[in-house]
Structure formats: C-alpha cells, structure tokens
Amino acid sequence: MKEGKERELLNTWKTTMDLAKFVLGYEDLTSLDQWGGREAVREILPDEFRENFDMIQPDLMDTILQPKNRRVALAYSDSLSEYIEFVNRKLDERKKVAYYYFPMSTEIMLALDMLPICYELLGGISAAQYIHGCEDGIDRIQSEGYPDHLCASQKATSGYLLMGIVPKPDVLLKQAWGCDPSNRMYEWASVTFDAPLITFEMPYYYNERAFRFLVGTVKRMIEQLEKISGNSLDEEKLREWVKIGNQATEYLLKIQELRKEVPCPDPAWHRPIDTAYSLLIGRPEAASYFKAVYEDAKKRVEKGESIIPEGKKEIRCAWGWAWNAYSLPFFNWLEEEHGATYLECSLTYFPPFTGLVDTTSLDTMIEGLAWRWFCWPMNRQSMSFSDIWVNDFVRICKEFKADCLMLGGHMACKHFWALNKLLSDAVKEEVGIPTLRFEQDIYDRRFTPVSELKRIMNTFFAML
C-alpha cells in the first residue's frame, strides 16, 4: 500500500469490490481451476483490476465463486462499495471523522452529520481480502513498540493511520470495559493524532440501574459530540437513521432465528462479514447486506437446501469467542470438508430481547440505542461477570442445537481465557457436548496459520 494518501486503503477496497462484481458477472466462472487457473482468470480482467487481483487470496476468490456463496458475495461487494462512496463523499465535504469502537452503531454520529468509521473494521476487511491481510498495518505499529503478543484488533488501523493511508480521526469513541489493549490503543490514537477521546463507561452489572447509568453516559457522549461536530442532535434526523438501523437489526435477528434450522441455512463465512456490517448498523448498506443474507438463507430453508455437500452429516458448531477474519475460505473449508456449520459466536450473537429501537421520541431513541449497545455482542459478555458469557453460550448451544463448542481465543484476551474453562465445563455439563480450546488471533494469520488451524480442526472432528 502506498503511504501518504488518506483514501488509499478504502480506494483499494473499492477496486477489490468492483473486481469481485466483475468476476461474479461471469455466471459460468465457478472456480479459478475450472476456468483454467489463476492466470486464465487474470486474462479476462480489465487492466485496472490486475494489480488488485494479485493481492487477493486465491481461495477467497474460489469461495465467493461457489454457487452457494455468490448471492451474498455480490451483496457484500455492492454494500461495501456504497459505504466507500459514502466515506469519500463525506471526506469531500470535510465532515468530522469519528472513529468508534466496534460494539456500537452509527445513528447518532450520522444524525450529527459526522463521518463514522469503525476502528476495527479497517483491519478486518483488509485481513479478509488480501494475501498479506493487514500485516503492513500490524507491522508498522509493532515497529513503534506496540507488543506483538497482543490482539491485532486495533493494530492494523493504528499502523494505517501512521502510514497515512486512512483518514485521520477528529474524535474517538470508546466504551470503557476491561479490554486493556484496546483501551490503550485508543488513548494512543487520541494523543498521536490530537483527537479527543470520548470514553463512556459500560456498567458492570446487568440490571435496570446499570442500564440507566448507560443511558446517562450516552447522553453525555452526545453532548460532547455536539460540541465537536458543531451540530445539535436533531430528532427528525436521528429518527431517519434509527429507522434504517432498525431495518438492519430486524433482518439480523431474523437471520439468527433461521440459523436454528437444521441443517443450518447460512454459510459460515458470513459470520465475520455479519460482524463487519453490524458495525455499520444505521447505514443503508448494513440493511441491504442483512436483507440479502436473510433472503438467501430463507430461500434455502424453503427449498430444503443444505450448505454442506450432499451425504455429509452436519456438525453444528457454536464458537465461544470469535471467528478469524484472515481466512474466510477456512470457514467454507469447514463446511465442505467436515460438514461443520457456524451457528453463533461472541461477536455475532444478539440476544433475542435486543429488539428494535422505539422511534417515538428523542428519549426513546437514545434509550433504544443504549439498550442495543447494552445487548451488543462482546459488550454484553465482557463488561460484566462471567455468568453472562457462560449462560449465553449454554443457551446458544441448546437453542441452536450445537454439536460442539469451539473456544478459539487470543491468549492476550484475559477476560476470555479467565472464563473459558468455566464456559467449557458448563457446556459439557449442561448440554453434554464436546468443546475445543485453541489459540488464534482474529486478524493476524501468522499467529495461528490456516494450515495449523486445519490440523487442529481435523484432529477435533475426527474425534467427534
């Protein structure tokens, strides 16, 4: 990636999305090999796509070209293209750039006419698409002394900021709960780029009093954002964005229900992408992505179609921590090789009582958004005692009829590793299904290479 251009990364993504749409336009192109190999596919590409094509993970290309994956791959490409166009428009208009931590949505920032960018999204999308993932960003921040043994969730974006290939922040928003690496990284970004950091406390308890406390902190966050943006929060504008956010949330919750079907109708590689689009809830792109995923899964249920190869027995997997973004094809491999479907994880699961935001008044909307953030995956599990995380996954394993629980987590995620045995024991005892514990990073493939992940999975599934 060339240094010094704040739109370099997003424009590279845009080319990737255009390239994906171009390739998906060839209906009879269902894999690189079937077309005669990588070089043969390269031949049909317009010149402007070729450099980008060489950067893309070849097995990702094969994954999205599979008939079962094409519809959502197209929706993903369209939606991300539109989001990038929106970002570019807002940068042209010199709107204030608000970087936010992932367990929240965009409506308030949009209503204040700011440009919301999720800090964690930039590394995640790059990790998912390119052969070298987001390693350039990770290596850059590590060369500044950031420890290599910590989770990479924020590393890449911090590196990209130093490289100057993403927009600089005007403000940073961060929920303050016990994830030390992210807390420190946001502080670092605030100091380095001279942007105010608005932290809002997540309560430790999960009750009415705690929720009221959260509503108060969100209101204080709004006051600060109003000062920074120079705009007052307009009820009508907020309602407009909240309605769009509700559309996305409604589809997301319906998709979750569909994943309870046996066989699971929703391909595993969607889970990291679902997380990416949940971070954009409030934007129309999130609504259109989740609508496409929902319709894709619903059609499959209606037709009785399966996402795993014929003759394979489905192994229904719940993931107690998270996916990895660096190999979406790995999740496709799980389905194709082992018949292993991906039900939920702590980055995708919204409890059913999350519900929609009541748009009656400004107060109901602020409360509704605060409630959604209260329920947000990982916010919900990490802000409090272990019981929420443990109970959620016992319930998930029962309701989604899981055959096993995968507990792959980053060793530096102290919260997860402190409770993962409790979680494993509870699931074994109350649901009676086996569990697998292993280490991985979510963005950096060098931590646990795909070949090693596959070896771990082969051993585990052979045991099942």
Partner 1 sequence: MKMIGMGCDIGTSATKIVIMKDGTVAGYGVTLTKDKPDQAIEKFINKVLSNTGISLSDIKYCGSTGWGTKFLSLDHSEESLIKCLSKGAHWTVPTARTVIDAGGLSSTAISVNEKGKPMEYRLNDKCASGSGRFLEMVAEALELKIEEIGPLSLSAKERVHMTSQCAVFGESEVIAHVNAGREVADIVAGVTYSVGLGLSTLVKRLGVQRDCVMTGGVAKNVAVVKALEESIGVEVKITYFDSQIVGAIGAALCAQARLKV
Q: In the complex, what is the shortest distance from the CB of residue 152 to partner 1, in angstroms, rounded to a whole number?
A: 23
Do 3 and 140 form a contact (C-beta atoms < 8 A)?
no
Nearer to partner 1, 183 or 435 (CB): 435
Give the residue, chosen from 149, 299, 428, 446, that forms a contact with partner 1 under the rule CB under 8 A: 428
Q: In the complex, what is the shortest distance from the CB of residue 436 to partner 1, in angstroms, rounded to a whole number?
A: 7
Region from 62-70, 114-122, 430-438, 442-450 binding partner 1, contact rule CB under 8 A: 430-438
Is residue 180 part of the contact set for partner 1 (CB under 8 A)? no
Q: In the complex, what is the shortest distance from the CB of residue 428 to partner 1, in angstroms, rounded to a whole number?
A: 5
Give the residue, chosen from 153, 435, 440, 448, that forms a contact with partner 1 under the rule CB under 8 A: 435
Nearer to partner 1, 378 or 404 (CB): 404
Q: In the complex, what is the shortest distance from the CB of residue 339 to partner 1, in angstroms, rounded to a whole number?
A: 16
x/- letters, 32..51, toward partner 1 (CB under 8 A) = --------------------
Q: What is the DSSP string of 127-184?
A: HHHBTTTTHHHHHHHHHTT--TTS-STTHHHHHHHHHT-SPPPSEEEEEESS-HHHHH
Q: In the complex, what is the shortest distance from the CB of residue 276 to partner 1, in angstroms, rounded to a whole number?
A: 31
Is residue 334 part of the contact set for partner 1 (CB under 8 A)? no
Q: In the complex, what is the shortest distance from the CB of residue 400 to partner 1, in angstroms, rounded to a whole number?
A: 19
Is residue 182 part of the contact set for partner 1 (CB under 8 A)? no
Region from 61-69, 186-194, 210-218, 417-425 binding partner 1, contact rule CB under 8 A: 417-425
Residue 170: φ, ψ to 5°: -95, -25
Is residue 462 part of the contact set for partner 1 (CB under 8 A)? yes
Q: Which residue pairs, CB below 8 angstroms and at least 24 apart, start in 349-356?
A: 349/256, 349/377, 349/392, 349/396, 350/249, 350/252, 350/253, 350/256, 350/278, 350/375, 350/376, 350/377, 351/375, 351/380, 351/392, 352/253, 352/256, 352/257, 354/249, 354/253, 356/246, 356/249, 356/250
Give the residue, chosen from 437, 439, 450, 454, that forms a contact with partner 1 under the rule CB under 8 A: 437
Tokens of 44: 């049909």
Nearer to partner 1, 258 or 412 (CB): 412
Near partner 1 in 78-107, by CB under 8 A: none
Nearer to partner 1, 154 or 424 (CB): 424
Is residue 459 part of the contact set for partner 1 (CB under 8 A)? yes
Q: What is the DSSP string of 197-249?
A: EEEEEPPSS-SHHHHHHHHHHHHHHHHHHHHHHT----HHHHHHHHHHHHHHH
Euclidean distance between CA atoms 372 and 368, whole angstroms:
6
Q: How many residues sit close enough to partner 1 to count as binding (CB under 8 A)?
A: 13
Is residue 313 part of the contact set for partner 1 (CB under 8 A)? no
Give the residue, chosen from 209, 303, 432, 451, that forms a contact with partner 1 under the rule CB under 8 A: 432
Give the residue, chosen from 57, 249, 424, 440, that forms a contact with partner 1 under the rule CB under 8 A: 424
Tokens of 383: 């802000």
Strand partners, 436: 406
The contacts of residue 359 (CB under 8 Å, 6+ apart) are 239, 242, 243, 246, 365, 368
The contacts of residue 192 (CB under 8 Å, 6+ apart) are 161, 162
Residue 288 belongs to what H/E stretch? helix 284-303
CA angle 119, 121, 127 (to 5 degrees): 125
Do 259 and 265 form a contact (C-beta atoms < 8 A)?
yes
Is residue 418 part of the contact set for partner 1 (CB under 8 A)? no
Nearer to partner 1, 179 or 419 (CB): 419
Is residue 463 part of the contact set for partner 1 (CB under 8 A)? yes
Region from 16-24, 283-291, 326-334, 434-442 binding partner 1, contact rule CB under 8 A: 434-442
Nearer to partner 1, 156 or 436 (CB): 436
Give the residue, chosen from 72, 248, 436, 453, that forms a contact with partner 1 under the rule CB under 8 A: 436
Residue 291: φ, ψ to 5°: -60, -45
Euclidean distance between CA atoms 434 and 315, whole angstroms:
12
Give the residue, chosen from 50, 313, 421, 446, that forms a contact with partner 1 under the rule CB under 8 A: 421
Give the residue, chosen from 362, 434, 439, 450, that forms a contact with partner 1 under the rule CB under 8 A: 434
Do 424 and 134 form a contact (C-beta atoms < 8 A)?
no
Asked whether the CA dihedral 432, 433, 434, 439 is positive or negative, the reply is negative
Q: In the complex, what is the shortest distance from the CB of residue 242 to partner 1, in angstroms, rounded to a whole number?
A: 44
Give the residue, chosen from 33, 54, 387, 425, that forms a contact with partner 1 under the rule CB under 8 A: 425
Strand partners, 117: 99
Is residue 166 part of the contact set for partner 1 (CB under 8 A)? no
The contacts of residue 70 (CB under 8 Å, 6+ apart) are 24, 64
- The site for partner 1 (CB under 8 A) is made up of 421, 424-425, 428, 432-437, 459, 462-463
